[in-house]
Amino acid sequence: MLPLGLAAKRTGAVVTVHPLATKAAEQAFERGGNAVDAAVAAALTLGVVDGFNSGIGGGCFILIRKPDGTFVAIDGRETAPQKASRDIFLRDGKADPNLSRTGALAIGVPGALAAYDLAIREHGRIDLADHLGQAAAIAEEGFALDKAYLGRLGQAVEKLRKFPDSARIFLDADGNPWPSGHRLKQPDLARSYRKIARHTTDWFYRGPFALKTEEWMQANDGLITRADLAAYKARRREPVRSTYRSFEIVGFPPPSSGGVHVAQILNILESFDLASMPPGSPRFVHHMAEAMRLAFADRAHWLGDADFTPVPRGLVSKKYARKLAKQIRPDKVAKIEGHSMPPDADTDLFNSHTTHFSAADSDGWWVACTATVNTTFGSGVVLPGTGIVMNNEMDDFSAQPNVPNAFGLVGADANEILPSKRPLSSMSPTIVLRDGKPVFSVGAAGGPKIITQAVQAIVHFIDHDMTPAKALGQARFHHQWKPDGLLVEKALSQTTIDALRKIGHTVKVTDSIGAAQALGLGHAGRPFTGAADPRGRGVFSVTP
């Protein structure tokens, strides 16, 4: 690490879902950090100001493009504890969703902190302790709760009431959400951040936090032990690399389904002239939705942690995509009963609520990171005295074949629960290259809608030649095969909705779908361009 203040400043760009997280990234650039530092600074700050979405009690995927053109994929996904078994959520032969979504059994071994530590040690310029200290100051001083935060509190109030430390921090004395403008201070979280800064991540994975976790689990019928935390490792993965038109697409591999299915959907769509289809037109939405359906049918059968289950590389084969594309008819919804069979499915294999943020700098570092505690406020648990919101990622396993999780996704044996296994994720941090140079980065929040948001942004960027801001401003839609329904934003025209229903789509209209963030290479003297999703409160910034 370089001494603070001695590194030359570089031009950096960042986009996050919260102004304070973007500011933290700006300050990392100003202190001589690179895009990796900016991303980690943003991540740790989001754990304070956006803790209902992400934090060190959860997990993440980090995709890094280095100045020499090589890529690093760091897997900080949670793992199942050693005492976990396939049927832990079954009661009287049926999956009980309450057990996998709230409380002790819902919690997977957290991986985000290990991933941030690995990213900084190997690729950053500022010590992790410094980033932790900056975020701890925000937790201690507090910040005003905005409409978005209060909305999430309202959604999770019943869950938070079940756990004393959660209620003490996030609810008032009567057990209700804090009023608008309340300054939320989190001194316990600040102390935890500072203890990690002082004692390294060992405090979390091998020291007092691990001991406190084991004691709380034993008292609350949970499974995680000190040994589980001590055994956790962030993994380096080989990114999924594919092409679309004349661009290269780099995504995250299993246990993310995002990299595989962003590539698969784009491969299918290469068979169609999307540039001639106006965004939001019936033809455009129909062809995109059909490609989504085909990919999600495959996801339900094939995808899981590639360290434990065979995931065919043929899913991203161009030949396989052309075969699937032939099922798409321009004037009728196709009948898709289930998964298809990719080439060499038994031999050519991959191996070893949410937030997205991206950063880039003039030295050539690009970072796309998606982090999560899963659903709003995760399991609802804040471990006593730590201020750390714990995830409910165990719900992302298939508790029982073909039984939907919190996002309506179904899965098969490929995503069954096993000790140390990582649950399947839809997180899709993606970097797009042209002639070997990064030109666009995108990711999103929204469960399975993450994949389809990333695809739509990339298509608008490439096929419709849109800026990041314009691409993210388009009306969105989503289809995940099961349940069989096309979800569309109300911004889509009624004419398009009527036309889609006429050819067989079951259309459901919603106010908004997900939240995406994007960065792009600038032009006309601007080094970078970018946009936070107009549906949220995020901020894009260029420094200096």
Report CA-CA distances (Å) from 384 to 7, 209, 381, 391: 40, 10, 9, 15
Q: Is the overall model pTM greater than 0.85, yes or no?
A: yes
Query: Residue 349's pLDDT is what?
Result: 45
Query: Residue 334's pLDDT is what?
Result: 85
Q: Express as a percent the part of the chain with pLDDT over 70.
A: 93
Query: Residue 7's pLDDT is what?
Result: 40
Rounded to whole angstroms, how far apart are CA atoms 544 and 541?
9
438-486 residue pLDDT tens: 999 999 999 899 999 999 999 999 999 999 999 999 999 999 998 889 9
Q: Is the pLDDT of residue 350 over 70?
A: no
Concerning whether 376 is annotated as a catalytic residue, the answer is no
* Catalytic member of 354, 375, 467, 529: 354
Average pLDDT over residues 227-254: 97
**Mean of the per-residue pLDDT values of the chain:** 93
Could you give the 3-state DSSP secondary structure of residue 301?
helix
- Pair 475, 262: CB distance under 8 Å: no
Backbone angles phi, psi at 108, to 5 degrees: -95, 160
Confidence of residue 354 (pLDDT cuts 50, 70, 90): confident
Confidence of residue 406 (pLDDT cuts 50, 70, 90): low
The closest alpha carbon to 100, from 304, 371, 405, 377, belongs to 405
Query: Residue 11's pLDDT is what?
Result: 95
Confidence of residue 347 (pLDDT cuts 50, 70, 90): low
Rounded to whole angstroms, how far apart are CA atoms 143 and 484?
42
Residue 258: both structure tokens together = 């995002």
Q: What domains does the chain contain, in order, with CATH numbers?
A: 12-233+373-402 (no CATH), 237-353+426-543 (3.60.20.40)
Would you tell me how many other CB atoms lie within 10 Å of the CB of residue 219? Answer: 10
